[in-house]
């Protein structure tokens, strides 16, 4: 397994991996109950996010000889929420998302806007997306994609933040020092809430 920065030229491949890993993600499943339509929305959305992260953030991928295993899209302090200019540059890549989402697109966009407003003030790394392809899960791929940036955050003495709509992810992220900051962020009138999590920087050699 090799961990290295994601080239923007491989953003579409990263979109495939993230779409596969998020195939049953509660927030996406609520908006797009049909699995095929969900993939038509999520794949290009993740590819556009990966392309932006490769250029402006720290996007990491795990590869083996068979291809890409996992992706982590990290935004360093000051790079999340996205600027208006970056959102505009993502526009062409999101056209397929808009067309596939149809009437659900305003609700889909509203989720992002609410999570951006929830981002706490002050410098922090933000984990925008983490996904491991189903063929490679339970092999430590996620850990290998998390720990390099956690080490950078600790070295700089800054926090890390993330959001998830899957309660099953809470215990996973707790392994890396994240704790629940907000238990329920309502983004849908009748759908699953998002959970805000934060990780304080650790001192060197701290448990």
From 3.40.630.30, 3.40.50.2020, 3.90.1150.10, 3.40.50.2000, which CATH number describes the 2-199 domain? Answer: 3.40.630.30
In this structure, how many other beta carbons lie within 10 angstroms of the beta carbon of residue 3? 16
Q: pLDDT means per 10 residues in the chain (207 residues)?
A: 96 97 97 97 97 97 95 97 93 92 95 95 96 93 97 97 97 97 94 97 71
The strands making up 159-164's β-sheet, listed across from edge to edge, are 2-5, 58-64, 67-75, 124-132, 159-164, 194-199, 179-185
- The pLDDT value recorded for residue 203 is 80
- The pLDDT value recorded for residue 93 is 86
In angstroms, rounded to a whole number, what is the distance separating the alpha carbons of residues 37 and 35? 6
Kindly list the domain boundaries of the chain, sorted by start residue.
2-199
């Amino acid at each position: 397994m090799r961990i290295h920065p994601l080239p923007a030229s491989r953003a579409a491949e990263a979109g495939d991996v993230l779409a596969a890993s998020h195939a049953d993600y509660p927030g996406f499943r609520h908006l797009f109950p049909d699995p095929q339509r969900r993939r038509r929305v999520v794949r290009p959305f993740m590819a556009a996010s990966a392309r932006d992260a490769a250029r402006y953030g720290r996007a990491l991928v795990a590869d083996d000889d068979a291809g890409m295993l996992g992706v982590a899209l990290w935004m360093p302090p000051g790079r999340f929420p996205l600027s208006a200019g970056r959102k505009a540059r993502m526009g062409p890549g999101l056209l397929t998302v808009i067309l596939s989402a149809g009437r659900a697109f305003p609700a889909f966009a509203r989720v992002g806007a609410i999570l951006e407003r929830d981002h706490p003030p002050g410098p922090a790394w933000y984990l925008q997306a983490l996904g491991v392809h189903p063929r490679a899960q339970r092999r430590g791929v996620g850990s290998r994609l998390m720990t390099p940036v956690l080490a950078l955050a600790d070295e700089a003495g800054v926090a890390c933040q993330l959001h998830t709509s899957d309660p099953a992810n809470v215990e996973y992220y707790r392994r890396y020092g994240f704790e629940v900051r907000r238990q329920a962020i309502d983004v849908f009138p009748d759908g699953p809430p998002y959970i805000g999590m934060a990780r304080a920087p650790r001192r060197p050699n701290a448990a």
